[in-house]
Structure 1
Amino acid sequence: MKSIEHIDPIFERLFSKISPKIANSFTDEQIKAIQRGFGSQVGASHFLDIRVSVPIPGLRFYLVLLAGSERRSQQRLLYEKGKYPLFNTGNIIFLTGFLTILLSCSLTIFPFLWSSLTSLTSISTSPSPTSPTSIPWIFDKSECEHTNRTWRNQKCWDDQHSPMF
């Protein structure tokens, strides 16, 4: 292959599959035109573009998630629908596992969030609950009654104590 500066790895891989006799027949101008044709696909950006290599010992695994406005022609959509069907064994196993994990997480998280929200709502909308509490620093009946508390069982009790205190 002729020396071209800044060769795209995808282009290089595809170009290497062409027999050397044919590849050497291309002029530099033809190769640059083919590169530009490939390059128009490489520069396309997506609204969501996540590409992750998943480190699973013993496996070479990657995950790609792309989303954006649809720019493919109807002909290409039909071709790719036949070439990459949504419902195949691998996709069904992945989607089943993903939905199972999502459901189990939801069943764990939503009740917790719901109880947290309802307890916050009940605290903010209802008068604060009270519970009698003994006051450890008051030791005599007259001082206890002077502070509008109740003397019972040799202790001073505050009936207005809030557990939120």
Structure 2
Amino acid sequence: MSQKNHPTSDPAMQALLKRLSPSIANSFTTEQLIALASIVGARGGRVHAIDVRTTIKLPFVPFSFYLVFLMGKNRRALNATEQCIAVFSMFLFIALNVIFLTCLIVVILYLIKSALGIDLISGYSTGLWDWFTTQ
């Protein structure tokens, strides 16, 4: 096998072998390295939450297309702009959840008040209790 085609010439395999102790990395036979290279392959040993890789063959087209869809946690360090966006997004998410839960609690308390027959403002009704009892 030429040096160019040897499994250790693949960057993904080099990264894998660097993570092992030298005594273990040097103990693999060529056959074992080929098997490892087929497992690691183009994926580079990375694990994604969603990993879809397929080839699409269209009729009457002499070649095929490949489709790769990956999704997972971003493990890279964020730059200043990305950190600002992440903080704002988290703040917005929390604020919207607090608003939603507050509205839900107010509606539940109003329904409990109406079920108990407590009338805070005489002659005024939002109609929520009437709608709720007719459903």
TM score, norm. by length of structure 1: 0.33
Higher strand proportion (structure 1 or 2): 1
TM score, norm. by length of structure 2: 0.38
Q: Which has the larger radius of gyration?
A: 1
Higher helix proportion (structure 1 or 2): 2
